[in-house]
């Protein structure tokens, strides 16, 4: 089983970095220690952060969701708010955990799409409604990333990487929830799928 990023990427046509109940350990972005009881996944951090950088450099199509979105920002030099709900002027972006999944994953707030980026090219401007299931969020945006969409409180909800050699999109919400019934999610996953197919054809010389 290959363990180095280069070995893994040699056999992949795309990478999807998913959400998770765990948070990125704050030492990766020089943040303060987490509140006691915060869930972390040291093995995921050790895997995803270098793998993201290698995949981007190689042009492998990448889609990052929720924790994956936060990992992308950290991997490229950005930082995170650990508890957005405690910051003045910010919304509470957490889900109502006592409710059923359909309520937890229901749309919670709109996002405004910035012009000239990937989301606009996918026909998703000027904006749309998203679900919201996170306590961490982007604090300092990595210098190479572009904010693609913003929440009403100004929190970055989607990013891209101008000049990236391959498809790259990160979103803070969960487009995978009932994606077949959501035109925004279908656009996002269709674009990722097409990028993966094109990369596979080029990789295999077809």
Q: What letters, b where the CB count within 10 A reaches 16 and e where it falls short, cover 144-154? A: ebbbbbbbeee
Q: Look at residue 205 in the predicted model and tell me its pLDDT.
A: 74
Q: Look at residue 174 in the predicted model and tell me its pLDDT.
A: 98
Domain boundaries, the chain: 5-205
Q: Look at residue 3 in the predicted model and tell me its pLDDT.
A: 63
Q: Are 77 and 143 a contacting pair, CB within 8 Å?
A: yes
Q: List residues bridging with 35 in a β-sheet.
A: none
Out of 3.40.50.300, 3.40.50.880, 3.40.190.10, 3.30.750.210, the CATH code matching 5-205 is: 3.40.50.880
Quickly count helices (H) and strands (E) in the chain. Answer: 6, 9
**Longest CA pairwise span in the chain (Å):** 54
Give the up-direction half-sphere exposure of residue 164: CA atoms within 13 A in the CB hemisphere.
28
Helix (H) or strand (E) holding 73: helix 67-75
What backbone torsions phi and psi does residue 192 show, to the nearest 5 degrees?
Answer: -65, -45
Q: Which residues are catalytic?
A: 66, 174, 176
Residue ranges of the chain whose pLDDT lies below 70:
1-3, 206
Whether the link from the prior residue into 22 is cis, omega within 30° of 0, is no
C-alpha distances in Å from residue 37, one per residue of 12, 21, 29, 133: 35, 12, 19, 18
Q: Look at residue 142 in the predicted model and tell me its pLDDT.
A: 99
Angle of helix 67-75 versus helix 42-58 axis, rounded to 10 = 70
pLDDT tens-digit map of 74-130: 999 999 999 999 889 999 898 887 889 999 999 999 999 999 999 999 999 999 999
The pTM of the full predicted model, rounded to 2 decimals, is 0.94
């Amino acid at each position: 089983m290959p363990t180095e990023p280069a070995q893994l990427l040699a056999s992949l046509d795309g990478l999807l970095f998913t959400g998770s109940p765990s948070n990125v350990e704050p030492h990766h972005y020089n943040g303060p220690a987490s509140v006691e009881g915060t869930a972390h996944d040291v093995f995921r951090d050790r895997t995803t952060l270098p793998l993201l950088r290698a995949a981007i450099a190689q042009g492998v199509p990448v889609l990052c969701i929720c924790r994956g979105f936060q990992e992308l920002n950290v991997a490229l030099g950005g930082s995170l708010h650990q508890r957005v709900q405690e910051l003045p002027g910010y919304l509470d972006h957490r889900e109502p955990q006592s409710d059923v999944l359909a309520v937890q994953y229901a749309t919670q707030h709109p996002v405004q799409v910035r012009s000239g980026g990937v989301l606009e090219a996918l026909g998703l401007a000027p904006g749309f409604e998203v679900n919201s299931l996170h306590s961490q969020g982007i604090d300092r945006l990595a210098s190479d990333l572009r904010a693609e969409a913003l929440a009403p409180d100004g929190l970055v909800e989607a990013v891209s990487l101008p000049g990236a050699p391959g498809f790259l999109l990160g979103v803070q919400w969960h487009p995978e929830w009932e994606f077949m019934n959501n035109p925004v999610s279908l656009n996002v996953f269709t674009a990722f799928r097409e990028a993966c197919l094109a990369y596979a054809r080029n990789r295999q010389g077809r």
